[in-house]
Amino acid sequence: MSEEGKRLAELAKRRGFFFPSASVYGGAAGFYTYGPQGASLKRNLEDAWRDRFVFREGHMELEGPDVMPEAVFEASGHLDGFDDMIVECPECGESHRADHLVEDATALEEVEALPLDEVQDLIADHDLTCPNCGTALAGEPVEQFNLMFATNIGPGSSSPGYLRPETAQGIFVEFPQLKEYARNQLPFGVAQIGKAYRNEISPRKSLIRVREFTQAELEHFVDPETDSPDLAPVEDVELTLYPASEQTDDDGEHVTMTVGEAVERGVVGNEWIAYYLGRAKTWFERIGVDMERFRYRQHLGGELAHYASECWDAEAELGGDWVEITGFGDRADYDLKKHAEHSGEDFSVFKQYDEPKVVEKPTVDPEMGYLGPEFGGTAGEIADALETLAEKNPQSFEGDEVTVELDDEAFTVPVEKTGFSVEEVKETGEHVTPQVIEPSFGVGRLVYTVVAHALERDEVDGEERTYLSLPPEMAPTTVGVFPLMDKDGLGERAHEVAADLREAGMAVTYDDSGAIGRRYRRQDEIGTPYCVTVDYDTLEDDTVTVRERDTTAQTRVPVDELSETLQELRDGDRSLDDA
């Protein structure tokens, strides 16, 4: 683990941000508990996400179940294709992610895009050994391992279910209902914040790779033919990009350009993705991601998920590694078409034309008096096949005979017996299966990044100090209230001040234990942006000391202006100097 990782894990546990779950029973790898500070920070992040990606975009939000029936994942492709590469140690039996072993030991990247036998060869070529016991792994089979957690729904085993590996499927399966709520009008977006579960082969790096985590996902359904985003609000946002072409070039490097330039130069191919890269960049800044340690990286061809056609990841630098914190994918119409195919329901939107259109419609009206005696029991199926062929390939009816195939057997019918004709019909609209643009945020990775990027060290009054320079909006606690001493009525007055601030909607901690300096340090370590001290002057003139976390600067504020002043400081509408 990196130095930063160790410092963070220690602080996160000691101060109640996050720590491995159920450790009294030895725990289970890949499961974490958010303590009081972490739960609060996580909720603030989720609220800020909802504010930006639901309310301000005018999207809807839903909350689906964590367990879903097998049919959902048969249709989505997760049952067959949601795999990672596993290699097992022949000596100690420990399982490892084969691609990660290769990446850790070589300069290779994105090894998961390689075929299994190549990864097996790389393990042998580089003499890789089991990280647990040191046994050679050369020759051990590299296999696919499905990451979904299976369960049974109800007693017995006849109704298999799975813990969802992404929240997205909970949105896709409800599309026939959701389109009604959107009055059948594209584009519209549906968001969901909720748990996702993956039985990761090797959970690691604290919250970065766990088996249960929160996702904040947005599925934006658009008409690929006619809808395009309004890029004006984001076109000047500057992005640090690492396109696929730079990654495969020996001298490749990050490139900086605005959203507008990225679209114009074709660096980002999909305008909707470009729009969300711009929106998200500003949002990442707002929540405290350090922009010096941030980039957008494009997926290489072999790395794309089974459903995606273009994808970019937001990556944060953590302990020397680049880590994906959010994916921006173009899922095209893959999921909706699959669910339509498997469920038989309508996953399209009827798009009304401004004016009805007259279109040519090829049809057939087969002579059953001919087909029946000629083809016997298959006559009905042949008639259906002729109808489908007329819709898809009317040119097949141009000769004297037409051939259809049923179960690899060809049946030839004289065209005059098919009743083929082309009619002119008026159409008022058409069925469109929307394209899906998906920004998918991992909330746990965001929590980790925001804390890691806020972790600062300096010296105050000759002593080393650790503090979290969190944006005030994200801080678990907004104000720490302290009585200088718990006597002479200072405690009572400080309790009153704290109660008033809570009443004004602020997250307040009351602390009267230990020296004032130690109380400041405790709040600094959890990122509390302001501390208020009630002292003897308060009893005289009803003012308190307000102290700011990062600068440690202090000023006196009248108690009756305190909540307004703190709110303005928190919202950036006032500085401590003004106060």
3-state secondary structure at position 523: helix
Closer to ligand GAP by CB, 114 or 218: give it: 218
Q: Which of 96, 179, 198, 297 binds ligand GAP (CB under 6 A)?
A: 198
Report the nearest approach of ligand GAP to the CB of residue 393 (Å): 36
Contact between 166 and ligand GAP (CB under 6 A)? yes
| Binding piece for ligand GAP, criterion CB under 6 A, among 73-81, 368-376, 440-448, 459-467 | 440-448
Q: Binding mask 321-340 vs ligand GAP (x if CB under 6 A, - otherwise)?
A: ---xxxx-------------
Closer to ligand GAP by CB, 313 or 535: give it: 313
User: In what side-by-side order are the strands of the sheet with 142-146?
Assistant: 95-97, 83-88, 142-146
Cα–Cα distance measured from residue 506 to residue 529, given in angstroms and rounded to the nearest whole number: 12
Contact between 213 and ligand GAP (CB under 6 A)? yes
Cα–Cα distance measured from residue 312 to residue 304, given in angstroms and rounded to the nearest whole number: 10
Contact between 217 and ligand GAP (CB under 6 A)? yes
Report the nearest approach of ligand GAP to the CB of residue 49 (Å): 12
The DSSP line for 173-184 is TTHHHHHHHTTT
Report the nearest approach of ligand GAP to the CB of residue 109 (Å): 16
Two structure tokens written together for 74: 């048969």
Rounded to 10 deg, the angle between the 443-454 and 3-14 helix axes is: 100
Torsional class of 543: left (φ above 0), alpha (ψ -120 to 50), beta (otherwise): beta
Contact between 298 and ligand GAP (CB under 6 A)? no
| Binding piece for ligand GAP, criterion CB under 6 A, among 148-156, 438-446, 509-517, 542-550 | 438-446
Report the nearest approach of ligand GAP to the CB of residue 326 (Å): 5
Contact between 484 and ligand GAP (CB under 6 A)? no
- Residues near 190 by beta carbon (within 8 Å), at least 6 away in sequence: 59, 60, 61, 62, 171, 178, 218, 219, 221
Cα–Cα distance measured from residue 330 to residue 224, given in angstroms and rounded to the nearest whole number: 11
Q: Which of 15, 59, 78, 209 binds ligand GAP (CB under 6 A)?
A: 209
Number of residues this chain uses to bind ligand GAP (CB under 6 A): 18
The DSSP line for 436-453 is EEEEEEEHHHHHHHHHHH
Contact between 524 and ligand GAP (CB under 6 A)? no
Q: Which of 96, 281, 339, 445 binds ligand GAP (CB under 6 A)?
A: 445
Cα–Cα distance measured from residue 54 to residue 32, given in angstroms and rounded to the nearest whole number: 27
Report the nearest approach of ligand GAP to the CB of residue 31 (Å): 11
Torsional class of 484: left (φ above 0), alpha (ψ -120 to 50), beta (otherwise): alpha
Q: Which of 300, 305, 310, 309 is nearest to 109 (CA)?
A: 300
Contact between 210 and ligand GAP (CB under 6 A)? yes
Q: Of all residues in this chain, which one has the CB nearest to ligand GAP in the complex?
A: 442
Q: Which of 440, 477, 543, 565 binds ligand GAP (CB under 6 A)?
A: 440
Two structure tokens written together for 264: 């114009």
Report the nearest approach of ligand GAP to the CB of residue 217 (Å): 6
Contact 53, 191 (CB under 8 A): yes
Q: Which of 44, 146, 192, 215 binds ligand GAP (CB under 6 A)?
A: 215
Counted residue by residue, the chain has a size of 579
Closer to ligand GAP by CB, 205 or 502: give it: 205
Closer to ligand GAP by CB, 445 or 493: give it: 445
Q: Which residue is it, tokens 């050369």?
A: 138
* Strand segments (E) across 25-159: 32-34, 60-61, 67-69, 83-88, 95-97, 142-146, 150-152
Report the nearest approach of ligand GAP to the CB of residue 212 (Å): 8
Closer to ligand GAP by CB, 21 or 552: give it: 21
Q: Site residues (CB under 6 A) for ligand GAP?
A: 166, 168, 198, 200, 209-210, 213, 215, 217, 324-327, 438, 440, 442, 444-445
